[in-house]
């Protein structure tokens, strides 16, 4: 197969776009999709100070690299979750990558906050994924605000977004449907949050990472097996195989025609500062993270008895 642009040998075939590209033209295509995703939804400007959440995977490392190449002012933030092996490998991948690419990097360790994920898991005695997500969102937001960033960018790709949309639609969760977007505006104690890779599939971000020689972090989280999200992702992959282009159409159609219908349902919660840490929360006094912190402390005291 030939590259659609320059007619050299193609290296990446894109069925959903009914096309194929050589290495150079694919990297151009990728860059154009990122700019289009940013500009069409007003995600970023070149004046923004952008904090990029770096897990160590292909999406987040590809994102910070492409944003840097496009001249955005980026700094990486890695949260070290304190999970044996997995977290160490992730941190090493992020640190090596940022050093190699001369990208500024902040690292925060959940263990220093008393919230290493294995400890939280032991204390909560319920599935950890939801609590882990709460803690990560809390610290990503907190560091962005404390360090004066104007926006937090995450590496969620089209497959992530489409699986979430599918999940929200199957439940007709009108609150979440009214809010789902590549852009969450700055509000109260929350920094603006953006997903510049929303137009690109997992296959495309993987191809980008491969062609840019990004050493990604392969060790999956040992706690996340069998999540229902992966079932939904698998179904959307099957759909795409049978009907190429359906994933991006589903998501774009939602942004244009679906979400507006649910705009009034987007939860307008009354938020006030957590009595302990000041983080915006809809709870009576303590925010979710401070409550988790209390449970971990109680668990520690019991274990010490």
The radius of gyration of the chain's CA atoms, rounded to the nearest angstrom, is 20
Q: Which stretch binds its own copies (CB under 8 A): 42-50, 120-128, 153-161, 250-258?
A: 250-258
Least distance to its own copies, CB of residue 240, Å: 11
Kindly give, in sequence order, each residue whose CB lies less than 8 Å from that of residue 272, ignoring residues fewer than 6 positions away. Answer: 280, 281
Least distance to its own copies, CB of residue 130, Å: 18
Least distance to its own copies, CB of residue 19, Å: 22
User: Smaller CB distance to its own copies: residue 78 or 247?
Assistant: 247
* d(C-alpha 64, C-alpha 213), whole Å: 14
DSSP three-state, residue 26: helix
Instruction: Identify residues 262-291 at the interface with its own copies (CB under 8 A).
Output: 262, 265
- SS3 of the chain: the string is CECCCCCCECCEEEHHHCEEECHHHHHHHHHHHHHHHHHHCCCCCCCCEEEEECCCCHHHHHHHHHHHHCCCEEEEEEEECCCCCHHHHHHHHHHHHHHHHCCCEEEEEHHHHCCCHHHHHHHHCCCHHHHHHHHHHHHHHHHHHHCCCCEEECCCCHHHHHHHHHHHHHCCCHHHHHHCCCEECCECCECEEECCCCCCCHHHHHHHHHHCCCCCCCCCCCCCCCCHHHHHHHHHHHHHHHCCCHHHHHHHHHHHHHHHHHHHHCCCCCCEECCCCCCEECCCCCCHHHHHHHHHHHHHHHHHC
Least distance to its own copies, CB of residue 197, Å: 21
Q: Which of 228, 284, 302, 303 binds its own copies (CB under 8 A)?
A: 228
User: Smaller CB distance to its own copies: residue 1 or 227?
Assistant: 227
Lay out the site mask for its own copies across 156-195 (x = CB under 8 A, - = otherwise). -------------xxxx-x---------------------
254 binds its own copies (CB under 8 A): yes
Q: Which of 42, 114, 133, 253 binds its own copies (CB under 8 A)?
A: 253
1 binds its own copies (CB under 8 A): no
User: Smaller CB distance to its own copies: residue 21 or 262?
Assistant: 262
Instruction: State the first-to-last Cα distance of the chain, in angstroms, to the nearest integer.
Output: 69
User: Smaller CB distance to its own copies: residue 110 or 158?
Assistant: 158
Q: Which of 257, 269, 303, 305 binds its own copies (CB under 8 A)?
A: 257
249 binds its own copies (CB under 8 A): yes
User: Smaller CB distance to its own copies: residue 172 or 302?
Assistant: 172
227 binds its own copies (CB under 8 A): no
Q: Which stretch binds its own copies (CB under 8 A): 1-9, 143-151, 194-202, 247-255?
A: 247-255
225 binds its own copies (CB under 8 A): no
* d(C-alpha 87, C-alpha 110), whole Å: 11
DSSP three-state, residue 303: helix
User: Smaller CB distance to its own copies: residue 147 or 249?
Assistant: 249
Least distance to its own copies, CB of residue 239, Å: 6
Which residue ranges make up the site for its own copies (CB under 8 A)? 169-172, 174, 228, 231-232, 235, 238-239, 242-243, 246, 249-250, 253-254, 256-258, 261-262, 265
């Amino acid at each position: 197969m030939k590259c659609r642009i320059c007619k050299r040998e193609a290296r990446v075939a894109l069925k959903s776009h009914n096309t194929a590209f050589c290495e150079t033209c694919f990297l151009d295509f990728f860059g154009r999709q990122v700019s289009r995703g940013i500009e069409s939804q007003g995600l970023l400007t070149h004046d923004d100070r952008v904090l990029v959440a770096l897990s160590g995977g292909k999406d987040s490392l590809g994102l910070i690299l492409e944003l840097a190449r496009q001249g955005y002012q980026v700094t990486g933030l890695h949260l070290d979750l304190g999970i044996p092996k997995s977290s160490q490998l992730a941190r090493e991948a992020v640190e090596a990558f940022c050093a190699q690419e001369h990208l500024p990097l902040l690292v925060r360790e959940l263990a220093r906050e008393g919230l290493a994920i294995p400890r939280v898991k032991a204390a909560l005695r319920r599935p950890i994924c939801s609590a882990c997500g709460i803690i990560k969102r809390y610290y990503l937001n907190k560091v962005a605000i404390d360090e004066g960033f104007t926006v937090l960018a995450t590496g969620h790709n089209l497959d992530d977004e489409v699986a979430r949309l599918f999940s929200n639609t199957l439940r007709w969760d009108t609150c979440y449907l009214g809010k789902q977007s590549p852009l969450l505006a700055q509000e109260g104690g929350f920094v603006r949050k953006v997903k510049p890779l929303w137009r690109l599939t997992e296959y495309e971000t993987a191809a980008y990472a491969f062609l840019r020689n990004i050493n990604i972090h392969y060790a999956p989280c040992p706690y996340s097996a069998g999540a229902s999200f992966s079932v939904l992702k698998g179904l959307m992959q099957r759909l795409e195989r049978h009907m190429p282009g359906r994933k991006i159409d589903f998501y774009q159609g939602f942004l244009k025609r679906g979400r507006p219908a649910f705009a009034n349902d987007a939860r307008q919660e009354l938020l006030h500062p957590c009595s302990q840490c000041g983080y915006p929360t809809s709870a009576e006094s303590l925010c979710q993270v401070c409550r988790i912190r209390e449970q971990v402390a109680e668990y520690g005291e019991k274990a010490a008895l």
